[in-house]
Amino acid sequence: MSNSMWGGRFADAPSAIMEEINASIDFDQKLFRQDIYGSLAHAAMLAAAGIIGQDDAARIREGLEQIRGEIEAGTFTFSRDLEDIHMNVESRLAAIIGAAAGRLHTARSRNDQVATDLKLWVRDAIDALAGEITALQAALAEKALAHAATVMPGFTHLQTAQPVTFGHHLLAYVEMLERDRGRFLDARRRLNESPLGAAALAGTSFPIDRDATAKAMGFDRPTANSLDSVSDRDFALEALAAASLCALHLSRFAEEIVIWSSAQFGFIRLSDRFSTGSSIMPQKRNPDAAELVRAKTGRITGALNALMMVMKGLPLAYQKDMQEDKEQTFMALETLSLCLTAMRGMVGDMEPDAAAMKKAAGAGYATATDLADWLVRTLGMPFREAHGVTGRIVAKAAAAGVDLEALPLAEMQAVEPRITEDVFAVLGVERSVESRTSYGGTAPANVRREAEAWLARLKERG
């Protein structure tokens, strides 16, 4: 029995193993909206160009709309025998409208069709992700504004470094996410060219209007080279690269949430909505949502690496290897969407323990740099000398088992006689953060201003 999809060239049907490895309908059915959208644009162009009749175009349009309704309603039966979403839709269209369905594939190939469908799907995913990133940024900025003056320790090497504010820390992630959003939008601009009409690889002899189909689908223009049109998957790789960086940022934040919510830190408390318990230890409150966000980063970066390996050795133009582009792309971008939504919920629900944060901020001699800066400003001491003096004073405080602000003035003067009582004005953690007024610094006034500016900007985005 010959294969109806491949015409008369093949006398025998494919083996069961060939069908198993070749079929993509199990996952590419996700493209049904994009496939129908592209087919509607193609049919309308064919009719406008006089390549098919208006009556056939009208029947094709009605049949495609019926199929979309059936799939959305869950009444459509997908067949693995028909391999992919394109042939499943075309077969059903033939069952609905008869021979006119065969005219739809005029002047196109599954090669340009699938490139178009996937571009449309990635574009839709980027638009959704950009909105989800904005929503998470808004949640972070709102929490930052509420805690612009809530002091916490800033860390380097996960060791106490200098006091910052909780709001300032959260705004760091707003900045990261803005870069992520920018990368997605850059990728969107580059992908927004229509491959439809490139046909199999060489274009077509039919007098098609590629500008019309590009415009109908919201593309800026048609792609300029038919070989590149069907073999390009840069758009998916760029989206996955942007997703990988975004996931990396979410993972870093998730790690901090895990640390902060531990009994040893006690900086924040997650709500019951984003925590789980233990089957054996009744006291446990596990930050599983954060841990899963952290773990799912591997899926997303793995998808990028997997598609890069698929594409790295392929000659032009289309190869069947490229069927492996979809599962990874679908999974990664949908996973990132889930992680962004989960993180937004955690940020909205988390409650910081201001007292615990302040206590930790004062530990580890976090105001040592403030003392060194005071020596420079007040005594005119070169910073390197001030650094050494401060180190010796910190050593005295450590030996006495007290914080810097509790070390007697006489002990400081034993190291540097010119130190006066005025030094104590810079040694408290609140005074430390208030002094960091440089642009981008952690002073509460800065944080409030930045949080309010971000909230205004994000509101304008809608």
Active site residues: 157, 278
CB 431 within 8 A of CB 425: yes
CB 129 within 8 A of CB 340: yes
CB 208 within 8 A of CB 49: yes
| Three-state DSSP class for residue 268 | strand
Sign, CA dihedral 287-288-289-294, equals: positive
For 393-421, b where at least 16 C-beta lie within 10 A, e where not — what string? Answer: bbebbeeeeebbbebeeeebeebbeebee
Sign, CA dihedral 157-161-163-168, equals: negative
What is the token pair recorded at 251?
Answer: 């993972």
Give 153's contacts (C-beta < 8 A, 6+ positions apart).
Answer: 160, 161, 162, 163, 164, 357, 360, 361, 363, 364, 366
The strand pair at 268-269 and 351-352 is best described as: antiparallel
| Three-state DSSP class for residue 152 | strand
Tell me how far apart the alpha carbons of residues 250 and 176 are, in angstroms, rounded to a whole number.
9
Tell me how far apart the alpha carbons of residues 311 and 235 are, in angstroms, rounded to a whole number.
12
CB 247 within 8 A of CB 296: yes
CB 394 within 8 A of CB 365: yes
H/E segment holding residue 367: none
Beta bridge partners of 102: none
Question: What amino acid is encoded at 428 in this protein?
Answer: G
- Three-state SS annotation for 157-222: CCEEEEEEEHHHHHHHHHHHHHHHHHHHHHHHHHHCEECCCCCCCCCCCCCCCHHHHHHHCCCCEE
